[in-house]
Structure 1
Amino acid sequence: MAKPFIIPFLLVVNSAYAQTNTYLKPGDTLKYSPQSDKSVWISVQSSDANLALALFMDGKKVKDQDDSRGIKSVERLYFTPEKGKIYELKIWAKSYLEKSKPAKVTITESKNVQVLKDQLSAGQFVEDLHTFRSIREKANSGLYVYRAKKQIDSIYQQAEKEAENCKNIFDFYKVIAKVTGFEGSCHNYTDLPNHASYYMTQKPEYLPVTLTNIDGRLLQDSKEVVVPLGAEVLSVNGIPAKEMINRFSQYYFSDGFSMPYRETAGFERGMIDKFYMEFGTHKNYEISYRWNGKINNVSLPGISLESFRKLQDSRHSLSFDKKLMAEKYSFNKEGEGIYRLSVRGFDFATGKEDPAYTRFSAFLDQMINTLEQEKVKNLIVDLRGNTGGTGALYEKVFSYLTQRPFRDSHYAYTKFNEVPLDEKLVIISLFLSNGVKDKYGLNTYLKQLYPKQIQDKYYWTDDKNPLILPNQKTFKGQLYLLVDQRVASAASHLASLIKSYTNAVVIGKETVGGYYEHNGHLPLVYELPNTGIQTGFSIVHVIQDAQNLPDQHKGQGIIPHIEVHQTDQEFLDQTDVYLKKVLELQKERI
């Protein structure tokens, strides 16, 4: 990696406090010293690369930021300096178009920032829709897994009519988000080039409460606001809760037809941006809610975006989630004769050669020794919140839970082993971290993994899908598997194996990841030429090593044997209803 260098300072009269232009090569890092001693907005932009930044104070990192994903996107950071402190901003390219050369970077310090506006015609939106479809048809092996060609044709016909009437980038984003979700893959990705808040008003017109979806009911999730914590919000500005849930769900994607994640994710992740894209900002909010059996109505003024961010970041439900996700993996005793293995992600190691994989293996060895020495008969495997990661890690876990050999998949394939439409391909950070800097390196990689062509499909090599043997010591007692709507990718793959081939009682919510199959392994991202919207998907269709079960149908996530629900009081008390259900079942079995 080339050495970072200091950016020179250039004053621009009237338009900004400071502005500079320089060039950034892939792999380089820029260093910039903020010039202002007052609070300012620092904006960083390039027409050639998607940038990320980190702010350091006296050598210590105080903030990471990668709000926007498009190649021509902007990163905005509100900088408030403290006297006597030394600040430094580091800037690097997270991704760039395959054809890109060194990226020109502009850094501006200014008192205020403008709302971003797009100047696009209906014809440009339609052109991007055509490009979008061409990308999916040529590169996405999951396009026709859950939908027939006639269905895909129909939704694109409707999308084209809608694109012709689009007034702005939000309108068009809604059109292609709907199409993206229709395909049925939790690895699908379509997003605006800039963070949605950059396009929206800076006036105090944002929702003065936060919401969470608990079993189809929207509960007020903030303390110290007029509407009581835990009150059921029935409508906002006349829009019923059910309609808000349905309209939010179009922005989030699942394998097949699974809905629990799509219906809850927006209230956890999308209140900052997608709520306002869908419902707009308002000077006043008319809120109808139920509290203590009575329906109440209140009119509240909008608040600033920064105030809403603080509400969202301090919401009641988040404290339980932070506690749940505090450790990547752990092993704890939950009562007499019962332990819990919790794994919150499989992204902490890149493969078997990673030292983190070795440490995890030693951790699992210690776990199985404890279970054997104490003659434990009950084990909880808790995968809640686990969105996946490295396949070798989930395979390692299952080797301690099964007595039968297994494989990652029956088979896996992609539609190509040379990247199509490479002029629109985005070289993402995953490729860069593995030394792949262009389409040629990617094509070489694909030909190694998927060399065998059979009827226009390129199959995974056998040596990449070996038979995996059980560990020498395996758990043979009663398993309980905890899953929620966030369980995806490698985690849902593990959950499908556990449900399929062990005695596990599955407790929780239907997962976002599929039981029988999914698209995974390797993501590609493309950028649409006019809007700069990025769209991506995992290119490998995987048929998982899971047996047919009567309660598992094509297009479903892992369906729990026992679905859990949370009462209003349990929400207020932050009761772990999943663990509570396991302990109740264990008592019944004694």
Structure 2
Amino acid sequence: MIKQIIILFFLISYSTINSQNTTSNLTKEERLKEVEIIRSTFVNLHPGTYRYNSPTEIENYFKKLKQKISKDINKEQYFILLSELTTFIKCGHTYLNPYNQTEETVNNYFSKSFIPFLYEVIDNKFIITHNLSENKTFKAGDEILSINGIKVEKIIHTLLNVSRTDGNNGVNKKIDNLNIVPTNIITTNYSLFDIYFPLYFPKNFNTKKYDFVIKTFEHKNIKTTLKSLSKNERQDIYLSNFGAIPMNEKNWEFKFINEETAYLRLGDFAIWKWKDDYKKYLDSIFINLHNSSAKNLIVDIRGNEGGDDDARTEVLSYLINKPFGCENPMRRLYKFLSVSDSLLPYLKTWDKEFKKPKNASDYIKTSDDYYEKIDASQSDCILTYPKANVFDGEIFLLINSSNSSSTFIMSDIFQQTHTGKLIGETTGGTKKGINGGQFFFLNLPYSKLEIDIPLIWQTYVKPRPDKGIKPDYEVKSNQKDIYNGIDTQLKFILNKIEK
């Protein structure tokens, strides 16, 4: 939802930061000061600190954390401990954002060696989807059993400690975060595995090679040693072997599967990167559909975490044949009216108004200790009306656990308006509400690490459960279909249409 703002902020602000030598470990006193800054920020500013943890649980966590950082630890261990702390809050928008770290942090904390495989986690197994190694024996559908002697079960269990999600709904989302997919290997992007596997298991940091045990789809275990890849090598090999990675405009794809069924893939809502007008592009798609004989439309948002909310609403206006947007009126709640002077030096943002004190007379304090604007309507919503070329056939929305921000809301509205059938896996996100809207970027004074801090709890007038959006038909990916090059969920829909 806010990636364009984050990247813009990174380009404008972080290039001017005077970095210190993050290669040297901090003193115990410096670490303790930083953790106290984080504690004060979470307790006084973050709207989700006490939503899934009691004040006692939060204080106990910080107490134990301070004990850990008082010991002789290195900077990598400190990075991990802070990452585990942000995960404990159970907020999908609170984390050490790799896109907001200084260049020196990236150089010093992130390994420059990468495994030569892309994979998907299925049934707690690493199932290869793309082989980028020099050994062409291994195919999509084969299973990685261990990496440098570390069993995959242990890797998954460990990395889940730093895998972010919203609330208690997000087991599938946490697992999904561990995947390495094509968009992750674009040289300007990051994956959780790439960052944290070498930090938790240091012998893999900048390693020249990896020892794998791989179980082929035919159940043959093979031990092999493969050279590691750099970011550029990994991307170049992928492009050479598998073709271009869809980005920007090309991340949206429209085609007719046959005369009666069309397919629209929306890879993300990062439309600020487009050179073309996405609204004109959408309109051309639905004019084409209107003039066709298509009776079915498959809209695929799997892997799309979110992006621009306006793009989401624009898409829905071509799918929903009635006014929408007020199915579940929302509230915008703050934890604070003003920021203490002690924290201001460490907080950056793209809008200076976020730092200014709010007029107390404009807000009321709620029973659950939040601040809400007095004139905020209890039906705070804006109706959106369908487009002239709204699709009037049967619609299938393909979803999975990646859908945790703007696409979570899209899935929710689609379901609430009874627009069509949802196919796939339960989304990430939570009906209890997501933190976002406005952000502070907390810059720690000694380590120079950054943590994203959302400022608004975007929740609902009528309380809703801590659950994601459940599909009408749950269809999970499986190893056999990956081996055979079959899209499990798409195949399910096409079979359903034929029947």
TM-score (norm 1): 0.68
Q: 1:412 to 1:116 in 2, by over 3 A?
A: closer
Report the AA paired with residue 531 of structure 1: S
| Superposed CA offset, 1:325-358 (max 9, x none) | 76244443222322233333333259xxx997xx
Output aligned runs, 1:453-492, within 5 Å.
453-455=364-366, 457-459=370-372, 462=376, 465-471=380-386, 473=388, 474-492=390-408
Q: Secondary structure at the match of 2:371?
A: strand
Match of 1:287 among 212, 235, 238: 212
Cα distance change on mapping 1:427 and 1:318 into 2, 3 Å: farther
Contact 1:522 1:539 in 2 (8 A): yes
Count of equivalent residues: 462
Query: What is the percent sequence identity of the aligned residues?
Result: 18
1:160 deviates by 2.5
Greater RCO, CA 8 A, separation 6+: 2
* Residue aligning to 2:125: 217
Larger mean CA deviation between 119-128 and 129-138 belongs to 119-128
The aligned counterpart of 1:49 is none
Structure 2: distance between partners of 1:249 and 1:333: 39
Contact 2:105–2:448 (Cα < 8 Å) also in 1: no
Return the structure number with greater strand share: 1
2:255 to 313, 325, 332: 332
Distance 1:338 1:208, change over 3 A: closer
Does the aligned pair in 2 maintain the 1:399–1:470 contact within 8 Å? yes
**What is the aligned counterpart of 1:501 among 417, 421, 439?**
417
| CA deviation map 1:366-387 (0-9, x unaligned) | 4444444446432222222323
Further displaced range: 492-501 or 459-468:
459-468
Q: Aligned equivalents of 1:197 and 1:256: distance in 2?
A: 32
Which structure has more helix as a fraction of its residues? Answer: 2
- Aligned letter for 2:313? E
Q: Of the two, which has the highest radius of gyration?
A: 1
Correspondence for 1:344: 267
Q: Does 1:94 align with 2:9?
A: no
- Where 1:165 maps in the other structure, the secondary structure is coil
Q: Distance in 2 between matches of 1:263 and 1:189?
A: 16
Residue 489 of structure 2 corresponds to residue 578 of structure 1 = yes
Task: State the shift of 1:543 in Å.
Answer: 1.6
Distance change in 2, residues 1:371/1:318 (3 Å)? same
Structure 2: distance between partners of 1:197 and 1:103 = 15
- SS for the counterpart of 1:541 is strand
Distance 2:298 2:114 in 1: 40
Supply the AA of the counterpart residue of 2:370. K
What do the CA deviations read for 1:203-229 (whole angstroms, capped 9, x no partner)?
A: xxx565435233132134424434623
How much is the aligned-residue C-alpha RMSD, in angstroms?
3.9
Residue 325 (structure 2) aligns with: 406
Deviations 1:553-577 (A, max 9, x none): 51x3323333434444543554333
TM-score (norm 2): 0.79
CA distance in 1, matches of 2:496, 2:115: 41
Deviation at 1:295, TM superposition (A): 4.5
- Rounded Cα–Cα distance in structure 1 between residues aligned with 2:155 and 2:241: 21
Q: Name the CA shift for 1:355/1:214 in 2 (closer, same or farther; >3 Å).
A: closer
* 1:117-147 Cα distance to aligned partner (Å, 9 max, x none): 2231233223222211111111111112233
Q: Which of 273, 276, 281 is the equivalent residue of 2:198?
A: 276
Q: State the secondary structure of the residue aligned to 1:274.
A: helix
* 1:250 corresponds to 2:161: yes
CA contact (8 A) 2:211 2:223 kept: yes
In the alignment, the residues of structure 1 paired with residue 200 and residue 49 of structure 2 have an alpha-carbon distance, to the nearest angstrom, of 26
Query: Residue 380 of structure 1: SS of its match in structure 2?
Result: strand
After superposition, what is the alpha-carbon deviation per residue over 1:261-301, rounded to whole angstroms, capped at 9, x for unaligned?
Answer: 33243442134432211112257644322125445352527
CA–CA distance in structure 1, aligned partners of residues 13 and 444 of structure 2: 18
Q: Name the SS for the 2:34 alignment partner.
A: helix
Q: In the alignment, is residue 261 of structure 1 matched against residue 173 of structure 2?
A: yes
Q: Is this contact kept in 2: 1:196–1:274, CA < 8 A?
A: no
Rounded to whole Å, the distance in 2 between the matches of 1:373 and 1:547 is: 43
The CA distance in 2 between the partners of 1:547 and 1:344, in whole Å, is: 31
Q: For 1:300, give the aligned amino acid.
A: T
